[in-house]
Amino acid sequence: MVTSQHEASHRVFQDRPELLGPVFRILGVPLPPKLAVDVLNSDVTEMRPVERRIDSVLHITPSEGKPFLLGIEAQGRKSAEKAASWTYYLGYLTAKYQCPANLLVVCNDEHTARWAEGPFELGGAGWPSLTLRPLVAGPHNIPLITDPAEAADDLALAVFSILTHASHTLTPETLRAVGAALRRADPQSGEYFFDIVSIGLAGTSHRALWEDIMRASYFPGSGTLLERTFLEGKAEGEAEGKTRGKAEGKAEGEAEGRIASLLKLLTARGIPFAEVSEARIRACTDTDTLDTWFDRALTARTIAEVLDPTVD
């Protein structure tokens, strides 16, 4: 299943390509200081009904050297099928764009990260025809940043540090350091990085601490999509609740607030939904389900990915 963590781990490279420089230096593959980066269609389907899709594809033109493609995959667990899929992606991209292609795998689990480094050998009869060796960024090589000054110097890398350590090794010190750096960032960067960290921490024990840290400084009045939909939905839900009995009104008011928040988020992100989907949302009274749908809506592209996501 595609999760919020999954989406944040690769989308940050599309939105903030300046992250490529420090990450590649950590991986021992330095890039020229100036890059032109274009986001390409990530669909690598050749024929139906089989559909294949890599998470992100970037076309990178260095100031020195030849252009190349970078496929980025967020990987949350080991998978025996991935070696063949990743090899297919690289072969397809190279053939389609007539351009060398590399693969970067982003993991937030150390065991998965070390597995993803390979090498993966493809071939039979004791003779591998292909050897795949992806670049891998994960908690085993991306440092935890706990100094607010260091976080402010390279905010993109500091946020990426949170994303790669989110599952196990993340510390409160890192969250506080990035929170302090965000207070000094320009409003546009601050809003983006606040949201991407919130998405990346969805479903983890660190999400509540992150929101507590930011609530006292950045969160109120920030005007982020997350804040606007939360506050507007909360107000509407409370208004609905006041018109009902106390016990019943409180429960129904909470559900109404979440429904209002979800519908506003879908509209704000331009995700179309039919009347049948709206009716299903409005009929839901389970607040946990509504919260799950809201988290999915932060990164989904279609209403189906919100209400009925397919298994990845």
Percent of the chain with pLDDT over 70: 80
The count of C-alpha atoms lying within 13 angstroms of the C-alpha of 34, restricted to the half-sphere facing its C-beta, is 2
Token digits for 85?
């899929």
pLDDT in tens, 100-159: 999 999 998 899 999 999 999 888 767 778 899 999 999 999 999 989 899 999 999 999
How many angstroms separate the CA atoms of 214 and 222, rounded?
10
Dihedral angle at the C-alpha atoms of 92, 76, 158, 226, nearest 10 degrees? 100
Tokens 């939105």 appear where? 15
Asked if pLDDT for residue 223 goes beyond 50, the answer is no
**Residue 102: which residues within 8 A CB-CB, separation 6 or more?**
68, 69, 70, 71, 90, 135
pLDDT of residue 243: 52
Question: In this structure, what token pair is assigned to residue 108?
Answer: 């937030």
Helix (H, G, I), strand (E, B) or coil at 40: strand
What is the signed CA dihedral for 86, 90, 95, 96, rounded to 10 degrees? 80
Residue 170 tokens, joined: 């993340």
Yes or no: say if 233 and 257 are a contact pair by the CB < 8 Å rule.
yes
Tell which wins on pLDDT, 221 or 166.
166
- State the pLDDT confidence band at 47, using cuts at 50, 70 and 90: very low
Categorize the per-residue pLDDT at 221 as very low, low, confident or very high, splitting at 50, 70 and 90. Answer: very low
Judge whether 97 and 69 are in contact, CB under 8 Å. yes
> Residue 4 pLDDT more than 70?
no
Q: What is the pLDDT of residue 239?
A: 57
What burial letters (b/e) apply to 127-143, b meaning 16+ CB within 10 Å?
eeeeebebbbbbbbbbe
Choice between 46 and 208, residue whose per-residue pLDDT is larger: 208
- The answer to whether 266 and 297 have CB atoms below 8 angstroms apart is yes
In this structure, CATH architecture of domain 4-137? 3-Layer(aba) Sandwich (3.40)
Please state whether the peptide bond connecting residue 49 to the residue before it is cis, i.e. omega within 30 degrees of 0: yes
- Reported confidence tier of residue 68, pLDDT bands at 50, 70, 90: very high
Three-state SS letters, 92-123: HHHHHHCCCEEEEEECCCHHHHHHHCCCEEEC
Residue 252's Cβ-side half-sphere holds a number of Cα atoms within 13 Å equal to: 13
In total, the chain counts a number of residues equal to 312
- 3-state class of 56 per DSSP? strand
Determine the pLDDT at residue 53. Answer: 75
For 205-219, 222-236, 261-275, which range has the lowest pLDDT when averaged over its residues?
Answer: 222-236
DSSP 8-class letter at 253: H
Whether the pLDDT of residue 48 is over 80: the answer is no
Q: How many CB atoms lie within 10 A of CB 30?
A: 9
Determine the Cα–Cα distance for residues 211 and 203; give it in Å rounded to an integer: 13
- pLDDT, tens digit, for every residue of 269-290? 778 888 889 999 999 988 888 8
Q: Indicate the domain borders of the chain.
A: 4-137, 148-215, 225-307
Tell me what pLDDT residue 132 has: 92
